[in-house]
Chains A and B, each alone.
Chain A
Amino acid sequence: MKINTSKINLNKVKRFYNSFLENGLPNRKKEDWKFTDLEKILNSNFDELEPLREKENYKMEAFLKFDHYYLISINGELVNYNLKLSDGSQDKKSTNLTKISSLNDHPIYSKILKSDDKKVSSDNINIDEMLSMNLAFTDRGYSFQIFKDLDKPLVIYNFFDEKLENKLISNSNLISISNSKVKIIELNIDKSKSNYFKNTFQKFQINESEVDYYFVNYNKSNGFNYTKNIIEINDSKSKFGSKLKYFIFGSGSKFRKDDYEIFLDGENSFAKINSAAILKKSQHHEIKTKMSHSEPNCESYQKIKNILLNDSKGIFQGKVLVSDRAQKTNAYQLSKGLILDDESEFSTKPELEIYADDVKCSHGSTSGNIDKDAVFYLMTRGLSKKEATKFIIKGFLNDVVSEIADHQVRELIENHLEENIKNEN
């Protein structure tokens, strides 16, 4: 596979482009890519990728039925938003309530572009091959800041249209939340008919805030997605600590690798990463996490649940790192795969690296087939095999779904999972 750069100007980003050319795409010889040979996967799905340059600006509607703020992007480019608060105040008028902009003022992005370092260390960012590739081609994204509690959820609608065949989307987003309590729902709505590759770099800064974040792949998608998320949870003053609950619902994507580096940099911080997905038809999903505890009294929970069928692959690589300062850490990890046929696979690689002595850490991982006796049991109660299997599948994922506190969001997720269960077996 090659990248067609004939139509783009690489002057400003030459060094990233060169570094990308030098290193190439990551393959399974790299520890971090052991289960996901990106080089091979992209080579077998694309002859050539062309960096997307067209920017669309047609109107797309926010469509969720409940009351919400929204932000809309098309193919990764911010096109519209509404953050009119219920009290009538608007983003621009009220002082620094929110600020939304496209890539141009993305502070981190411009900082990296300016710096000469290989590593922008203060920002926890390490410029690896995927980030070099991202920096070489990024031309879109959004950045927003929230400084005040939101009384309704904020929905980020990411639309992807039909014109993405063999395109490379490179985008960069920054979400910064301070002193607020917010719920954010990120929806990917995909109308693409053929393969494209999206390489996203995303950074979250969470300061003295409580954030519930839900990523939902809203429908079936032909996109191949790699997303690197850097999440910094800081807390300098408050004794309660910041809280992040991050849910990933990726069912329906052909390929995704969601890579999270979470930094618990403030005392008493809390982070939760939960995922539930149904993988089928040769889909390949990897969730990779690195949970870094660097301050005392923090808690982290990770729970990954995959249903697998039709030659699909689910992977969880989860690392927990506890520094010597981070006493009284609680860190838990659990991954489970429920495999419905002989061709599918669930792989996990948990890692603990602990330098403090007063910590509670655990990890567990299981994978197995559906319990035939359980199916029989339900069928003796009049349920068809399909219904019985569905009950068991939903029950298996319920562990994650039941942790969604907001009933509107829970309903959205239940429908999303239902759709993905229904369309198969």
Chain B
Amino acid sequence: MLKLKELKASIGEKSIIKGLNLEINPGEVHAIMGPNGSGKSTLANVLSGKDGYTVSGSLKFEDENLQEISIEERARKGIFLAFQYPLEIPGVNTSNFLKTSLNSIRKANGKKELDTISLIKLIKEKASELNIDEKFLSRQLNVGFSGGEKKKNEILQMKLLEPKLSILDETDSGLDIDALRIVADGVNSFKNKNNSFLIITHYQRLLDYIKPDFIHVLSDGKIVKTGCSDLAKELEKTGYKNFN
């Protein structure tokens, strides 16, 4: 599904991703751990198509060259990024935004756009699965949401848009114990043999709930080690000092 070869990304003079190789197949869950500033969010941004990076190497998503595809096209093809810091958009009603987003993705995929009633029903259903109070849907998008509420709202969007590749950038940070469980259940119930996950996290706690097939350690813009779930436990004990 996703194939990265010798991926490099820099901003101005600063190079951040320095030759990264990664392959994610359908149905796989990959976790990325790594010290602050190692380039995890940058990788997520580059995969989503954010402007401002000089990118080289090969980026293939379902055999298409991602570099030629715009941000919204990537979203429509099934790449989803749950932001580390979701943005507040003043004056934009959350459920209006969700409706527009869902329909633009459905339309691009040749599906019929949903009418308002079915949309609302669907949104409410997904929200209740995540224990999100309906009143959030009539609020302005992320405005004044607590850290954890913002993260849950990201997962709500993921569940609505049903992406093929979900990149979760520290979705667990800021969630309380119950919310973490709900979010993890949300991910697990959505997981199937066709969709894949790239989970960026600092803590193995989340990985207790969502079992990754691979764990990668990202350090200074490169994957320096790949292992299975034991790697997270090891890191929890020893930290990243062995990788610097």
B91–A396 touching, CB < 8 Å: yes
Please encode chain A, from 388 to 399, with 1 for each CB lying within 8 Å of some chain B CB and 0 for all others: 000110111111
- Give the nearest-CB partner of B105 in chain A: A382
Which of A377, A387, A399, A402 is B89 in contact with, Cβ under 8 Å? A377
Contact B90–A377 (Cβ < 8 Å): no
| B interface residue count range (under 10 / 10 to 19 / 20 to 34 / 35 or more) | 20 to 34
Q: Of the 9-residue stretches A185-193, A315-323, A353-361, A366-374, which lies at the interface with chain B?
A: A366-374
Q: Which of B65-81 contact A (CB under 8 A)?
A: 70-72, 74-76, 80-81
- Interface assignment of B100: CB less than 8 Å from any CB of chain A: yes
Kindly state whether residue A408 has any CB partner on chain B within 8 Å: no
Kindly state the separation between the CA atoms of A396 and B97 in the bound complex, as whole angstroms. Answer: 14
Question: Is A13 interfacial (CB 8 A cutoff)?
Answer: no
Smallest beta-carbon distance A324→chain B, Å: 38
Tell me if A4 is interfacial: C-beta within 8 Å of chain B: no
Partner of B104, one of A371, A376, A385, A387: A387
Q: Contact: A382 with B83, CB < 8 Å? A: no
- Kindly state whether residue B22 has any CB partner on chain A within 8 Å: no
The interface centre, meaning the residue of A381, A383, A392, A398 with most chain B CB atoms within 10 A of its CB, is A381
Q: Give complex CA distance A394, B90 in Å.
A: 9
Chain B residues with CB under 8 A of A383: 72, 100-101, 104
| A6 contacts the other chain (CB 8 A) | no
Q: Considering the chains assembled together, what is the distance between the CA atoms of A402 and B83 in angstroms?
A: 29
Contact A381/B87 with A392-B92, A395-B92 known, Cβ cut-off 8 Å: no
B15 at the interface (CB under 8 A from A): no
Q: Which residues of B contact A126 (CB under 8 A)?
A: none
In the assembled complex, B5 has its CB within 8 A of some CB on chain A: no
Q: Which of A381, A384, A398 makes the CB contact (< 8 A) with B91?
A: A398
Whether, in the assembled complex, B201 has its beta carbon less than 8 Å from a beta carbon of chain A, the answer is no
Interface string of B93-107 (1 = CB under 8 A from A): 000010011001100
Contacting pair A382 B76 (CB below 8 A): yes
B92:A376 contact, CB within 8 angstroms: no
A39 to B87, CA, bound (A): 45
Decide if A379 is an interface residue (CB 8 Å cutoff).
yes
> Among A371, A378, A396, which residue has the most Cβ atoms of chain B within 10 A?
A378
A391 to B101, CA, bound (A): 11
Chain B residues whose C-beta falls within 8 Å of the C-beta of A399 in the assembled complex: 90-91
Q: CB of A425 within 8 A of chain B?
A: no
Chain A residues within an 8 Å CB radius of B74: 380
A394's contact among B49, B80, B91, B105, by CB below 8 Å, is which? B91
**Interface status of B48 (Cβ within 8 A of chain A):** yes
Question: B122 at the A/B interface (Cβ < 8 Å)?
Answer: no
B20 to chain A, nearest CB (A): 20
Q: Is B57 an interface residue (CB 8 A)?
A: no
Chain A residues 390-425 with CB under 8 Å of chain B are 391-392, 394-399, 402
In B135-165, the 8 Å CB interface with A consists of: 140-141, 157, 161
Given known contacts A382-B76, A384-B72, A397-B91, A377 and B100 CB-to-CB distance under 8 angstroms: no
CB distance from B68 to the nearest CB of A (A): 16
Within 8 Å CB of B89, what residues of A?
Answer: 374, 377-378, 391-392, 395
Question: B residues within 8 A CB of A387?
Answer: 100, 104
Q: Which residue of A lies closest to B83 (CB)?
A: A377
Separation of A383 and B101 alpha carbons in the complex (Å): 6
- How distant is the Cα of A391 from the Cα of B88 in the complex, in angstroms? 12
Are B140 and A395 in contact, with the CB atoms below 8 A? Answer: yes
Q: How far is the CB of A347 from chain B (nearest CB, A)?
A: 22
Residues of A with C-beta under 8 A to B105: 381-382
Decide if A396 touches B90 in the complex (CB within 8 Å): yes
Does B186 sit at the interface, judged by CB under 8 A? no
Q: Is the CB of A395 within 8 A of B90?
A: yes
Chain A proximity of B106: nearest CB distance (Å): 9
A373 CA / B97 CA spacing, docked (Å): 16
Complex CA distance for A398 and B94, rounded to whole angstroms: 13
| Docked-complex contact B81 and A380, CB < 8 angstroms | yes
The interface residues of chain A lying within 8 Å CB-to-CB of B228 are none
Q: CA–CA, A31 to B50, complex, Å?
A: 46
Q: Does B51 count as interface, using CB distance less than 8 angstroms?
A: yes
**Distance from B88 Cβ to chain A, minimum over Cβ atoms (Å):** 8
Find out whether the CB atom of B91 lies under 8 angstroms from the CB atom of A380. no
> Once bound together, how far apart are the Cα atoms of A376 and B90, in whole Å?
15
> For A378, what are the chain B residues with a Cβ–Cβ distance below 8 Å?
89, 97, 101
Determine the chain B residues whose CB is within 8 A of the CB of A402 once the complex forms.
91
Task: From known contacts A376-B50, A379-B75, A382-B72, infer whether A395 and B101 are also in contact, taking CB-CB under 8 Å.
Answer: no
Rounded to whole angstroms, the CA-CA distance of A381 and B86 in the bound complex is 12
Question: Are A382 and B161 within 8 A (Cβ)?
Answer: yes
Most buried by B among A371, A372, A383, A394: A383
Chain B residue nearest to A374 (CB atoms) is B87
Distance of A228 Cα from B210 Cα, bound (Å) = 66
Cross-chain pairs A/B with CB under 8 angstroms, 13 sampled: A374-B89, A379-B70, A380-B48, A380-B72, A380-B74, A381-B97, A382-B108, A383-B100, A384-B104, A387-B104, A391-B92, A395-B91, A396-B90
Extra inter-chain contacts (4) besides given A376-B71, A379-B72, CB under 8 Å: A374-B87, A380-B48, A382-B161, A383-B100
Which A residues contact B (CB, under 8 angstroms)? Answer: 371-374, 376-385, 387, 391-392, 394-399, 402
